[in-house]
Structure 1
Amino acid sequence: MRSGAPSPAAPPRALVPLRSSEPARAAPVRSAAAALLEEAADLLVVHRDFGAALRTCERACRALACGAPAEEPAGASLEVKCSLCVVGIQALAEMNRWREVLSWVLQYYQAPEKLPPKVLELCVLLYSKMQEPAAMLEVVRAWLQDPDNQGLPEYRALVELHLQRVLLPLGCLSEAEELVVDSVAFSDEQRLDALQAISTAREQQKHEHSGSEEAQKLNQEASPSSLPFLYKLAHIFHRIREAVSSPLCQLPIQN
């Protein structure tokens, strides 16, 4: 019995050549931005070229603003954008341009409530360290009031950071108390601890205010009564100077 003849191999599929008039597909925005992020981090940490690191972050953010490809995983470009802002914040701080940080990040997020929690945290820590917590007051307030942010896992930590680094140093104790009482992010124990910290700050504020008033009162009372003594002291110095310069007190010059 003759075996069947082997079936002929299927002909190779013809490859459709790319016409010269067809543009090559652009590299995914995600890959380009991620590569720039790596380059910016290298410039910041290894080469310590802070200006170049900042410019690289800005190039990457502009690339992301052009749009992400449809096949990119959801949220991937947001993570890259957040990391770029973290590197940019560090670069600005290293160049002593920390005052530009808030306006720099807001140009990429447009509204304070859209800032990622990590970026907002770094901004609060930076401005607090530089003794300028007031710059963050309205920004954090808007972020905390946004309903979309109140369900984030970082929400409670940012409320606590806002209390410790912004509201309490600025003496905004009523606002701090209202925030703690109304926030659903705290457990009963955490709320009690926060209210205790606010109460301690209020007592300290009253003590400092009372001490300042007493010092001012003492200065006002002491100033008029001290004038006769100062006049008398000046008169004594004047008499001493006259006595020293008197001819009777001058020693004869020996030839």
Structure 2
Amino acid sequence: MKSDASTSAAPLKGLVGPLRSSEPALALPAVSPAVHLLEEAADLLVVQLDFHAALETCERAWQSLAEEPVSGTIVEVKCSLCVVGIQALAEMDRWREALSWVLQYYQVPEKLPPKVLELCILLYSKMKEPGAVLDVAGAWLQDPDNQGLPEYGSLAKLHLFRLLLPLGRMSEAEELAVGSAAFSEEQRVEVLQAIHTARRQQHTQEHTQEHSNSQEPQKLNQEGRKDIGALAELMQRSWRGEVRAELMQRPWRGEVGAELITLMMVSPFPTAAPSSLPLLYQLTQLFRRIQKATLSRLYPLALRD
């Protein structure tokens, strides 16, 4: 920036020629303090890698610009300060603050410089959060003053491919492609084809997800029926033959039945769940104890006969 000032002074010397005593000396335009702060911030960001200091320097530069009259140079300085500040925030892993940081200076989305909006779209889409900048980009594109800018077409395309399509906003993407003058006829055909492909992929993913969700309960029911079948088989083995007859004749059969019913009521069978395995194990052990107690009574009777 300093070299720009010295370069701009050279043509003045050639045009004016030798100064006469009666002619006043031409004063060179003073360089804004924000320009020096911008150079300092860029040096801190790129050379010294002091991202925190670079961000603070940008903020100090913005404060100094509050007293500067609006000019083309000031507009460029503001835009460059935003670019340096966004990069510093990203380097510090504070990229989520980038959009709110620039909006505190420009107040409304429609006033964002195209370069700053482009950087925000690329940043948030790369970090898989395109929804954070969706409303800001949409408001900027709808502003009539921005639609005449040379960058409008590229930002409209960026908005469509980086924000709308990844978020599944197919109808909004079609409206932008058809209703916007940012696309030529050839570009409009390509964009609509891309939207059609994205919509087909979206339907395929939704169908696959629905099919997977519908198959899950069937799988659980099948596994649950297997567990119940295994339990029934264990019960049949335990109640088979003389063991069942002996249990029906014993006076303590009511206690056993009460214990079984209580166990089933307190611990219902969760179909196909791993938590059902301890319950199955408890029932198996209970039936084995019943079988062992019954057989110990049956065999002595058989010997006496």
Structure 2: distance between partners of 1:79 and 1:88: 14
Match of 2:224 among 222, 227, 239: 227
Match of 1:215 among 212, 217, 220: 212
Q: TM-score with structure 2 length normalisation?
A: 0.65
Equivalent in the alignment of 2:298: none
> Rg larger in 1 or in 2?
2
Equivalent in the alignment of 1:117: 114
Asked which structure has the greater RCO (Cα within 8 Å, sep 6+), the reply is 1
Match of 1:179 among 171, 176, 180: 176
Q: Is residue 165 of structure 1 aligned with residue 166 of structure 2?
A: no
Query: What amino acid maps onto 1:84 in structure 2?
Result: L
Greater helix content? 2
Structure 1: distance between partners of 2:226 and 2:64: 75
> Following TM superposition, by how much is the alpha carbon of 1:68 offset from its aligned partner in structure 2, in angstroms?
2.6
> Following TM superposition, by how much is the alpha carbon of 1:53 offset from its aligned partner in structure 2, in angstroms?
0.2
Structure 2: distance between partners of 1:230 and 1:103: 57
Q: Is residue 188 of structure 1 aligned with residue 189 of structure 2?
A: no
Structure 1: distance between partners of 2:105 and 2:51: 19
**3-state DSSP class of the match of 1:80?**
helix
> Following TM superposition, by how much is the alpha carbon of 1:95 offset from its aligned partner in structure 2, in angstroms?
0.6
Compared with structure 1, are the counterparts of its residues 43 and 238 closer, same or farther at alpha carbon in structure 2 (3 Å cutoff)? same
**3-state DSSP class of the match of 1:131?**
coil
Equivalent in the alignment of 1:37: 38
> Following TM superposition, by how much is the alpha carbon of 1:111 offset from its aligned partner in structure 2, in angstroms?
0.5
Query: What amino acid maps onto 1:171 in structure 2?
Result: G
Structure 1: distance between partners of 2:100 and 2:60: 17
Structure 1: distance between partners of 2:58 and 2:106: 14
Instruction: Show structure 1 runs of 5+ residues with no match.
Output: 1-11, 16-26, 243-255
Equivalent in the alignment of 1:145: 142
> Following TM superposition, by how much is the alpha carbon of 1:228 offset from its aligned partner in structure 2, in angstroms?
2.7
Alignment RMSD: 2.2
Equivalent in the alignment of 2:63: 62
> Following TM superposition, by how much is the alpha carbon of 1:130 offset from its aligned partner in structure 2, in angstroms?
1.1
Match of 2:200 among 194, 203, 213: 203
Equivalent in the alignment of 1:251: none
| Count of aligned pairs between the two proteins | 212
Structure 2: distance between partners of 1:146 and 1:205: 30
> Following TM superposition, by how much is the alpha carbon of 1:238 offset from its aligned partner in structure 2, in angstroms?
5.4
Query: What amino acid maps onto 1:41 in structure 2?
Result: A
Query: What amino acid maps onto 1:208 in structure 2?
Result: Q
**3-state DSSP class of the match of 1:148?**
coil
Task: Find runs of 4+ consecutive structure 1 residues off by over 6 angstroms.
Answer: none
> Percent identity, aligned pairs only?
60
**3-state DSSP class of the match of 1:169?**
coil
Equivalent in the alignment of 1:136: 133
**Per-residue CA shift, 1:191-240, capped at 9, x if unaligned?**
000000100010001111111111111112221111132453959x959x
Structure 1: distance between partners of 2:182 and 2:96: 31
Instruction: Show structure 2 runs of 5+ residues with no match.
Output: 1-20, 232-276, 286-305
Query: What amino acid maps onto 1:103 in structure 2?
Result: S
**Per-residue CA shift, 1:34-75, capped at 9, x if unaligned?**
111110000001100001000100111111121238xxxx41
